């Protein structure tokens, strides 16, 4: 059934059932996922899905419902489920639906540059990437992950208050994981990139990051325990801040799960530290001109010049704080209610290269990899203790690789002990909160070793 007719029918049936306000959310996604192993196409999966979520106010209560069947004969059940949800909803805080916004009925798309390439060209790109990775060094034993994902996501929202918006974005993700071996020593390295067009520069960077790390860690040993000057390399800083990022969500703050509570307008980091949340970022995991409540999105500083400027809000959390929504009301899936979620977040770059920071540090440790983020990070207290790999620096030069060490500290203390910020931004894995960071020089953290 054609979309507009389906929605019109749904609205009419809802009115007949005395539903006061109603909103339709339709998400449509398609994906290509393939991988290469030893010069052969190992996996090739194409998938499509289309879902409809419904929320509406019945007898003063919000109800939710959803279906994967976008057919007229499923609408009755959809409305009945919404009514049952509303009747059992004992939440006293009523979610409000957005009215028509300035961009209503305008469609803004980020151009899909990946459409310029055939599937054969994409497969050939990956085949060449794997070959280059093997040719990089004779100690490369296995390329155990060489994969490509391409996702297209479309969102359409319409409600009885006059709101009607739609959006569409496409991203590609390439991942490369390498295993290097020398004697009885074996090490791994991993990297990934989110992109919107194929480029040779991604191949070079993926190989440098993943294969380079695997080779560079051969022969790694531990060091003595103590407090060390630390450089969190870009990938490490990005992964750490990705796991800490919920402390900036209004919903987290209102549940007393963030020590940022009560610090709006206060200094929480060094003067040159800035965090931005940008739903419109080029090559971001997300590209949304409105959130799932129809609120216009925009780029914003969360921390600016060391001062906490805002938390991220949807309509509900904003009203509770006497603020305005920041356009961060999103669903985790078509089955969920609307919560608060970040899109693309990043720490603004400084003016120093990683090499400059190593020279200025003279003696210390570069942390190049961390493990056990789920168990080793406590977002509420800010404490972290993470199994790590790294590089020992002496007299401003990298001496040898390090393994079997644990790095520990506290985020809130660390934010005020930053000495330099690099100019080499890298983003965390897109399966988690998407966060970008350059390398960061920290005055002191604890390392437990031998």
Give the pLDDT score at 135.
97
Mean pLDDT score across all residues of the chain: 93
Locate tokens 């800490």: which residue? 244
Same domain, yes or no: 18 and 78: yes
Identify the three-state secondary structure at position 121.
helix
**Is residue 330 scored above 60 in pLDDT?**
yes
Nearest to 233 by CA among 272, 191, 194: 191
State the virtual CA torsion across 70, 74, 77, 79 in degrees, nearest 10. 50
pLDDT reported for residue 100: 66
In a domain, 329, yes or no: no
Structural domain contains residue 310: no
Lowest mean pLDDT among 4-8, 110-114, 285-289, 400-404: 110-114
Report the greatest alpha carbon distance in the chain: 78
CATH code at position 136: 3.30.2290.10
C-alpha to C-alpha distances, 118 to 52, 113, 114, 122, 194, nearest whole angstrom: 31, 11, 9, 6, 19
Considering 185, 207, 229, which residue would you say is the last residue of a domain? 207
pLDDT-derived band of residue 273, with 50, 70 and 90 as boundaries? very high
Shared domain for 83 and 161, answered yes or no, is yes
Q: Does residue 328 form part of some domain?
A: no
Query: Are 144 and 224 within one domain?
Result: no
Of 234, 276, 255, nearest to 380 by C-alpha is 255
Is residue 114's pLDDT more than 50? yes
DSSP state of 90: -
226 in the same domain as 154: no
pLDDT of residue 1 exceeding 80, the answer is no
What pairing do the DSSP bridges indicate for beta strands 344-347 and 434-437?
parallel
Residues 6+ apart with CB under 8 A from 74: 67
Closest CA relative to residue 438, chosen from 211, 240, 203, 153 = 240
Over residues 390-398, mean pLDDT: 97
d(CA 283, CA 205): 16
Range of the domain at 428: 219-241+349-448
Please determine, for residue 103, whether its predicted confidence score (pLDDT) is greater than 60: no
Q: In terms of domains, do 200 and 224 share one?
A: no
Please give the pLDDT value at position 187: 95
Q: Residue 260 has what pLDDT?
A: 98
- Closest alpha carbon to 367 in 348, 386, 353: 386
- What is the domain count for the chain? 2
Per-residue pLDDT at 445 exceeds 70: yes
* 304 occurs within a structural domain: no
Q: pLDDT at position 72, please?
A: 85
Q: Which of 155, 181, 207 is the last residue of a domain?
A: 207
Select from 52, 66, 55, 65 the least CA-distant residue to 96.
55
User: For residue 157, is it within any domain?
Assistant: yes
Q: Which residues of 340-354 are buried (b: 16+ CB within 10 A; e: fewer)?
A: bbbbbbbbbbbebeb
Residues 202 and 228 in one domain: no
Say yes or no to pLDDT of 41 above 80: yes
Taking the CB of residue 215, how many other CB atoms lie within 10 A of it? Answer: 18
Q: What's the pLDDT tens digit per position in 174-215? A: 999 999 999 999 999 999 999 888 888 899 999 999 999 999
Q: Is the C-alpha dihedral spanning 197, 199, 201, 202 positive or negative? A: positive
If asked whether residues 24 and 162 sit together in one domain, one would say: yes
107 has pLDDT over 60: no
> If you average pLDDT over residues 267-275, what whole number do you get?
98
Please give the model's pTM, rounded to 2 decimal places: 0.93
- The reply to whether 380 and 234 lie within a common domain is yes
Do 124 and 224 fall within a single domain? Answer: no
Q: What is the mean pLDDT of residues 74-102?
A: 84
Domain membership flag for residue 60: yes
153 and 44 fall within a common domain:
yes
What is the β-pairing status of strands 107-109 and 164-182?
parallel
In angstroms, the CA 367 to CA 240 distance is 12
Among 147, 109, 112, 106, which Cα is nearest to 126's? Answer: 147
Task: Quote the pLDDT of residue 400.
Answer: 97
Per-residue pLDDT at 98 exceeds 70: yes
Q: What's the mean pLDDT in 28-32?
A: 94
User: What's the pLDDT band for 102 if we cut at 50, 70, 90?
Assistant: very low
Q: E strands, 261-413, where?
A: 275-277, 300-304, 307-308, 329-330, 339-340, 344-347, 364-371, 383-394, 397-410
Tell which wins on pLDDT, 9 or 111: 9
CB 143 within 8 A of CB 176: yes
Q: Are 125 and 147 in contact (CB under 8 A)?
A: no
From 207, 232, 266, give the residue that closes a domain.
207
In a shared domain, residues 227 and 358: yes
What pLDDT score does 105 carry? 43
The answer to whether residue 313 sits within a structural domain is: no
Name the pLDDT band for 245 (thresholds 50, 70, 90): very high
What is the model's pLDDT at position 197?
83
Per-residue tokens: 132: 């280059």
Same domain membership, residue 233 and residue 163: no
| pLDDT > 70? residue 99 | yes
Measured between alpha carbons, how far is 437 from 348 in angstroms, rounded to an integer?
7
Q: Which of 166-175, 344-353, 434-443 has the lowest mean pLDDT?
A: 166-175
| Tens-digit pLDDT profile for residues 287-311 | 999 999 999 999 999 999 999 999 9
Give the Cα separation of 106 and 126 in Å (integer).
Answer: 37
pLDDT at 110: 67
pLDDT tens profile 135-187: 999 999 999 999 999 999 999 999 999 999 998 888 999 999 999 999 999 99
At residue 86 the predicted structure's pLDDT band, cuts being 50, 70 and 90, is: very high
C-alpha 53/C-alpha 73 separation (Å) is: 16
Per the DSSP assignment, residues forming a β-bridge with 338 are: none
């Amino acid at each position: 059934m054609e979309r507009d007719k389906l929605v019109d029918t749904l609205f009419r049936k809802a009115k007949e059932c005395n539903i006061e306000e109603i909103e339709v959310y339709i998400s449509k996604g398609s994906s290509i996922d393939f991988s290469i192993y030893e010069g052969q196409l190992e996996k090739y999966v194409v998938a499509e899905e289309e879902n409809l979520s419904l929320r509406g106010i019945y007898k003063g209560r919000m109800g939710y419902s959803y279906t994967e069947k976008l057919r007229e004969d499923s609408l009755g059940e959809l409305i009945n489920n919404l009514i049952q949800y509303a009747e059992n909803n004992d939440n006293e805080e009523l979610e409000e639906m957005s009215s028509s916004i300035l961009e209503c009925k305008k469609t803004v798309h980020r151009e899909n540059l990946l459409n310029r390439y055939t599937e054969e060209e994409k497969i050939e790109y990956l085949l060449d990437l794997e070959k280059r990775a093997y040719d990089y060094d004779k100690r490369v034993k296995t390329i155990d992950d060489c994969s490509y994902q391409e996702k297209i996501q479309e969102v359409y929202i319409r409600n009885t208050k006059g709101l009607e918006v739609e959006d569409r974005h496409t991203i590609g993700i390439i991942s490369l994981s390498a295993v290097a071996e020398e004697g009885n020593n074996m090490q791994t390295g991993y990297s990934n990139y989110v992109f919107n067009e194929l480029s040779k520069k991604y191949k070079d960077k993926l190989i440098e990051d993943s294969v380079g790390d695997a080779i560079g860690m051969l022969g790694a040993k531990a060091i003595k325990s103590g407090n060390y000057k630390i450089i969190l390399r870009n990938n490490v800083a990005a992964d750490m801040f990705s796991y800490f990022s919920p402390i900036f969500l209004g919903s987290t703050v209102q549940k007393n799960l963030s020590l940022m509570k009560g610090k709006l307008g206060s200094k929480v980091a060094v003067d040159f530290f800035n965090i931005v949340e940008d739903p419109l970022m080029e090559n971001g995991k997300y590209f949304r001109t409105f959130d799932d409540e129809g609120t216009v999105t925009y780029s914003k500083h969360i921390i600016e010049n060391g001062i906490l400027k805002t938390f991220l809000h949807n309509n509900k959390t904003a009203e509770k704080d006497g603020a305005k929504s920041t356009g961060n009301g999103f669903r985790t899936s078509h089955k969920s209610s609307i919560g608060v979620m970040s899109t693309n977040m990043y720490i603004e770059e400084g003016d120093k290269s990683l090499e400059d920071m190593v020279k200025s540090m003279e003696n210390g440790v570069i942390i190049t990899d961390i493990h056990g983020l789920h168990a080793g990070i406590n977002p509420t207290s800010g404490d972290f203790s993470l199994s790590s790999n790294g590089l020992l620096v002496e007299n401003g030069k990298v001496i040898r690789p390090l393994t079997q060490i644990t790095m520990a500290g506290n985020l809130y203390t660390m934010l005020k002990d930053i000495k330099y910020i690099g100019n080499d931004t890298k983003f965390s894995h897109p399966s988690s909160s998407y966060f970008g960071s350059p390398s960061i020089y920290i005055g002191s953290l604890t390392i437990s070793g031998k």
